[in-house]
Structure 1
């Protein structure tokens, strides 16, 4: 899929929102990508996952044993990546504020993992997920995301493969432009601050 075709999938599903949003990272933005909306259509979710799998180098794609994603946002895209790769997909949860495997999920020692997110802004959740996967015995060989909106700032100790990178500014509390500050805030993400 081309970048325009990917963005059309977001627009068609009303997943590209405009306003004043407080992101899961705590940063402010005038745009929000509601990946749950783009992924609610199974055929669309499958197309996006297949497109991302096609971007993975053969050596990484062939090394992956399992897909692990952080809940809540990564669950659907992680499942679809598992389907596209022909691998199992499980997810991490934060029952006490720290990611962990629950529901009987486990990783075999050294099992090769694709850590899959929906959107990466600062990379904090992804790094926390990678750490939890390592603590559970897995070895993350790559990180993936539908959208990288970090403007190149997110970094990991493994290769990172986003389906699309968007240059959407985000701001710390003390950097919010006056025109954005004048708009009431909305916090559509799943993580408490």
Structure 2
């Protein structure tokens, strides 16, 4: 099974976001980026630089995960940091892989803990089948066809370039 090219997917995702918003991320009342920790935060940081956004937020979904009782709080997770008012803002929520939709649901819950956005649009580097929630991304870098018993993992190099690797799913 060949893995998708994360850098090519990033360029596709960036082009879609720029087509939709152009330079409006630089405006005081423009849309804002919020990346889901950790892969989505890496993407949001790079997107912010590439679209001219002054800042970006990081969303930690740990407390809103439906498997929190089973997994607990990840010791390495950074807290949610949103350097903007969530109320009445258009938020582009960024994640690395959209699969079941459960992580995105948790991120939306976390955002609503901070206020009521005008809109939340999802941008993902890769989308795969197997949705359990009625969630769809507006911006998609690539569609991945993977076996159900595998996970697509984003890695970021020291040069900030992205790669994907496929590994067996851990139950």
Normalised by the length of structure 1, the TM-score is 0.54
Looking at structure 2, the residues matched to 103 and 153 of structure 1 have their Cα atoms a distance apart, in angstroms, of: 25
- SS of 1:119's equivalent in the other structure is strand
CA pair 140-125 structure 1, distance change in 2 beyond 3 A: farther
The 5 Å alignment of 1:36-75 reads 44=7, 48-56=9-17, 58-59=19-20, 62=24, 65-75=31-41
Gaps of 5+ in 2: 66-77, 150-167
Structure of higher CA gyration radius: 1
Q: Check conservation: 2:31, 2:90, Cα contact below 8 A.
A: yes
CA pair 56-104 structure 1, distance change in 2 beyond 3 A: closer
Deviation at 1:166, TM superposition (A): 1.3
CA pair 186-127 structure 1, distance change in 2 beyond 3 A: closer
Q: Which of 115, 118, 121 is residue 93 of structure 2 equivalent to?
A: 115
Deviation at 1:169, TM superposition (A): 3.3
CA pair 110-149 structure 1, distance change in 2 beyond 3 A: same
Looking at structure 2, the residues matched to 104 and 57 of structure 1 have their Cα atoms a distance apart, in angstroms, of: 24
CA pair 152-81 structure 1, distance change in 2 beyond 3 A: same
Partner of 1:27: none
Looking at structure 1, the residues matched to 90 and 39 of structure 2 have their Cα atoms a distance apart, in angstroms, of: 22
Deviation at 1:159, TM superposition (A): 5.1
Q: If each structure's helix is expressed as a fraction of its own residues, which one has the higher value?
A: 1
1:148 aligns with 2:115: no
- SS of 2:64's equivalent in the other structure is coil
Q: Check conservation: 2:34, 2:44, Cα contact below 8 A.
A: yes
Looking at structure 2, the residues matched to 65 and 125 of structure 1 have their Cα atoms a distance apart, in angstroms, of: 22
Looking at structure 2, the residues matched to 103 and 125 of structure 1 have their Cα atoms a distance apart, in angstroms, of: 14
CA pair 104-164 structure 1, distance change in 2 beyond 3 A: closer
RMSD: 3.4
Normalised by the length of structure 2, the TM-score is 0.60
Partner of 1:163: 141
Q: Check conservation: 1:68, 1:90, Cα contact below 8 A.
A: yes
Deviation at 1:90, TM superposition (A): 1.3
